[in-house]
Structure 1
Amino acid sequence: MTVKREATPVDGGYAWVILIACTLSYMTLVGTCKAFGILYNEFITMYDAGAGNTAWISSLMFFLSFLLGPLANYLVGVFSFRAVVMCGGLLVSIGYFISAFVPRMEWMFLTIGIVCGVGSGLALAPCGTIVSFYFLKKRALANGILVSGSGLSSFVFPYLYRYAIDRFGVKGALIIISGLALHMCIAGALLRQPLELATTHRSPDKYTEVETNDIKLTKNQTSELKKRGNTFPVYMRLLRNTRLVMFIIVFAINVLAYAANFVAFPAHMQSLGLNQSQVTIAFSMIGAAEVFTRSLFGWFADKKYVANSTIMIFSGVLSGVAAILLPFLKTFPFMVAYGLVIGIFPGAFWSLMAVVLLDCVPLNDFTSAFGLLYTFMSFAVALSQPGMGWIEDATGSWNLSFRVMGFLHLLTAVILMSEPLIVKFCSCNQNDDEQKQSLSDIVEEENKLLHKKNSDDTLSSSCSVYHDTCESRAKSPSISDNDISLASATNASGESGEQLKVLAPIASLEDVVI
């Protein structure tokens, strides 16, 4: 049976529907995570809890959101992008809804930290992955639009959270957030499986074909797609890719510093004595800047005016300087300025994430590389907010926390500037390992050839003796049957000289014994 399907639309058509759906889902998902800082302050006041321990709620949610990236990208091949994203949205909604009725903050580690974290993990990575299958020439722009959706929600959601808390209380606000999360199910329903990941199980025929306008895959070829389920060897191969590992480390360090702002920044402003309205305005500037600049970074990257790493170096330096200077600038205008800087420049890393990965790996390995990146980032976000909270608990202020965040931003710039040296050094080590392995393979192959040659010589010698024996006995027609005996012959160990002496005729070849 033949299943006909049109080729995956690239840079147009339904690709824009995919982008809109992913942007809406991404906006809802990331917006609820980023605006958690508003709930964070309410939880500290309501439950009289410490800053570091309370930060574990959002940190656990962020951790699972990124850690489950490889699992989510595996499941989209087993099921579909649509099913996985809708399931994730449903779990996030359930987690926030249950949180409205828990009596103690410790329960929120389960409801928000784990349930919402698992749901976020199932939806986050697929939204970032599927867009790259539908865009080629406009890939950076598309990813910029995608992540700018989180900026829009980062701008709107703090006001929405503040209004919901003031009007309905914390419990009412959690129920409203639960309803917002259900919109991810609607957005997920619009997703369509890319042809590169689509396999058919409906046909029992020996040869199943998928025909498109310019693509024809036989069952043997689609079996290669199914082999993606064997992900462990793929991950091991990707970890030997020096440039990929370097960029993964850079992205992980960036998110380690960036994610801490969503807890540390509003708490720092409150410690300075700013009122709730000022805190909300300055905090929302992060999202306002992300709305426009992330798409702009994507458009600029598509133009190829400068290398992607150059854009990230520039962004890392400015982000680091701003974070280090923040403790010395304590007025409301400077808080607004810092919010704009954090919204503009670390966002460049998110806009270029998919593009940079595809510079390191082919499209067939993109889902695995993206999942590997999210795994490393999960550990970064797990340490980010609690770590900065513990520093505040130990020092009594957020000043040192922001200096650490600034150092981490600068570290990303240093690593990126050292890319040629890192790649060259690792390439030399890889070449040495490859040469050693090649020499070992050569020696092993020569040993096999020598063993085979010795075996062939032994077999040839035995066959020669057998042939000479047959000829000799054929030339002896009249010897008594009772006088049969065999003389010694040349043996396989190299002894020579004596020929086989025939004393009796041979009735058949079976009478020959060597």
Structure 2
Amino acid sequence: MTEGEKRSVAPDGGWGWVIIAGCFLTTICTRAITRCISIFFVEFHTHFSSDYSSTAWIPSLVDCTTMLCAPLGSYLANHLSCRVAVMVGGLLSSVGLVLSSFASSLEFLYLSLGILTGLGFALSYTPAISMVGIYFSERKALAYGIAMSGSGIGTVVLAPVVQILIDSYSWRGAVLILGGLVSHLCVCGALMRPLSSNKQSVTPVLADSELTGSADSKTLCEMALSKNKAGENRDKKGCIIIPSLVEYSFLLIPDFLLLSVSFLFLAFGCNVPFVYIVPYSLSIGFSHQLATLLMSVLGVMGIVGNITFGWISDRKFLRRYRVVSYLVAVGLEGLSCLFVPLFRSFPLLLPFVICYGYFDGAYVALLPVVISDTVGPTHLSSALGVVYFLHAIPYLISPPIGGWLLDNTGSYTAVFLLCGSSLICSASVLAVVTVAQCCNRRSFISSISGD
């Protein structure tokens, strides 16, 4: 192994802990603030005298833009650096929030808060997450659990703080202060030091036979990388190098494609409770403080789920079953949503918040781990960009669809039933993927034994 290759090995520590801290703060300034936008839901609805469906476009646009532009964040990280991507994202999102404090209409908020701020979050979020996967291998799930817990911790801290800011300075002052907080993404970006100072270009060399089929689909990316390291420009049959497949050859892996279908259902359902839990609580007679407390509990349990599931999944006897752990988390999260319409008091709604928050934190921590186990750490940044891109449309349409159901039925029952059904469908698709992987693995081992 050369000196350059030695420096490229994940250290599972060292500066990696600083990377975790940077990613932790990044998730606070992006995902936690996105969740806290639901606290502004009633304020926007009242101030602009709009219906629920129109108001719901604001949080959905933030999430949609964040996910839709995720490949752009991956592109900047791969071709410039994670440091540049996160810092540019911090600047854009901060400007978007500051401009939102001067909004005169919902349409203004659609552009400033939904598009500009969401774009900044996209440039910061994906590169920061991918850096953790570069610095950690053996303790990857735990590292992601700690880093992604920033979303839960940020929700716990920011939910009551945002309500206090709204009461003290109105929603405009609260949004302006959040703009100053988000500017700290520039500091987070400064911490994203590359693992190796020597950039190694990776260009796959794929023959037609390799593109059309292989006994083990997961070896596709490995073949491309090994041929690049060998310095080949053509394969034995004279096939020309295909540079365009450098970053996205993982799209040829069937397991990843099936996972993507599961992620679509997941994205359609997972965001709805964060948008509607506060309005639902207020509709059944809760005070603003009590509704905000539920958001805080949701955040606390997300932290517990992030760290405990990350630690458990890193145990040697469970490391190969990370997908199963992820499946269980998503399935139980969806099941809990089906019972929300029956909970119309604080003692009943609190267990739902605890359960949903815990399993939401679990799947958030395991999602990048499952993707990394499927495509490999080399393609993690690009794969995350594609996965978050797939989240965009469901994130865009699910809250407005929930608002439309609410406007037409006058009840939150259909909203939470739709959410729970989507999450259960995601877990079902993932179960099929898991069974298929086991069957393929057994057949592959059998073919080797037969040879």
The interval holding the TM-score normalised by the smaller chain is 0.7 to 0.9
Give 1:421 deviation, angstroms. 5.3
1:324-374: CA deviation from partner (whole Å, max 9, x where unpaired): 111011001222222111111122221111221122112222222121111
CA contact (8 A) 1:47 1:105 kept: yes
Separation in structure 2 between the aligned mates of residue 33 and residue 222 of structure 1, nearest angstrom:
46
Query: What pairs up with 1:172-183 in 2 under 5 angstroms?
Result: 172-183=173-184
Which structure carries more relative contact order (alpha carbon 8 Å, separation 6+)? Answer: 2
What SS does the aligned partner of 1:13 have? coil
Aligned residue in 1 for 2:338: 324
1:374-398: CA deviation from partner (whole Å, max 9, x where unpaired): 1111122112211211111121111
Separation in structure 1 between the aligned mates of residue 414 and residue 232 of structure 2, nearest angstrom:
54
Aligned residue in 2 for 1:162: 163
Aligned residue in 1 for 2:110: 109
Separation in structure 2 between the aligned mates of residue 426 and residue 392 of structure 1, nearest angstrom:
45
Aligned residue in 1 for 2:378: 364
CA contact (8 A) 1:151 1:290 kept: yes
Aligned residue in 2 for 1:66: 67
CA distance change for structure 1 residues 283 and 420 in 2, over 3 Å: closer, same or farther?
closer
Aligned residue in 2 for 1:285: 297
Amino acid at match of 2:187: I
Answer yes or no: is 1:26 the counterpart of 2:27. yes
Aligned residue in 1 for 2:447: none
1:26-64: CA deviation from partner (whole Å, max 9, x where unpaired): 111111101011011110011111111111111111111
What SS does the aligned partner of 2:63 have? helix
1:115-171: CA deviation from partner (whole Å, max 9, x where unpaired): 101101101111111110000111110011111111000111111110100011111
Query: What pairs up with 1:91-110 in 2 under 5 angstroms?
Result: 91-110=92-111
Separation in structure 2 between the aligned mates of residue 296 and residue 420 of structure 1, nearest angstrom:
22
CA contact (8 A) 2:264 2:426 kept: no
Separation in structure 1 between the aligned mates of residue 231 and residue 74 of structure 2, nearest angstrom:
21
Separation in structure 2 between the aligned mates of residue 65 and residue 49 of structure 1, nearest angstrom:
24
Separation in structure 2 between the aligned mates of residue 344 and residue 422 of structure 1, nearest angstrom:
28
Separation in structure 1 between the aligned mates of residue 391 and residue 350 of structure 2, nearest angstrom:
27
Give TM-score, length-normalised by structure 2.
0.84
1:248-306: CA deviation from partner (whole Å, max 9, x where unpaired): 22233223211111211111111111110110011221101111221111111111444
Separation in structure 1 between the aligned mates of residue 146 and residue 232 of structure 2, nearest angstrom:
32
Structure exhibiting the larger radius of gyration computed from Cα positions:
1
Give 1:245 deviation, angstroms. 1.6
Separation in structure 2 between the aligned mates of residue 291 and residue 133 of structure 1, nearest angstrom:
23
Aligned residue in 1 for 2:428: 414
Give 1:6 deviation, angstroms. 8.0
The unaligned stretches of length 5 or more in structure 2 are 202-227, 235-240, 442-451
Query: What pairs up with 1:24-423 in 2 under 5 angstroms?
Result: 24-195=25-196, 198=199, 230-231=243-244, 234-235=247-248, 237-306=249-318, 307-419=321-433, 422=436
Separation in structure 2 between the aligned mates of residue 340 and residue 320 of structure 1, nearest angstrom:
13
Amino acid at match of 1:289: M
Amino acid at match of 1:293: G
CA contact (8 A) 2:326 2:367 kept: no
When the two chains are superposed, the root-mean-square deviation of aligned CA atoms in Å is: 2.8
State the aligned residue count: 405
Separation in structure 1 between the aligned mates of residue 242 and residue 292 of structure 2, nearest angstrom:
45
Aligned residue in 2 for 1:215: none
What SS does the aligned partner of 2:305 have? helix
Give TM-score, length-normalised by structure 1.
0.74
Identity %: 28
Give 1:424 deviation, angstroms. 8.7
CA contact (8 A) 1:286 1:340 kept: yes
CA distance change for structure 1 residues 173 and 137 in 2, over 3 Å: closer, same or farther?
same
Separation in structure 2 between the aligned mates of residue 220 and residue 233 of structure 1, nearest angstrom:
15
Aligned residue in 1 for 2:238: none
Separation in structure 2 between the aligned mates of residue 180 and residue 401 of structure 1, nearest angstrom:
32
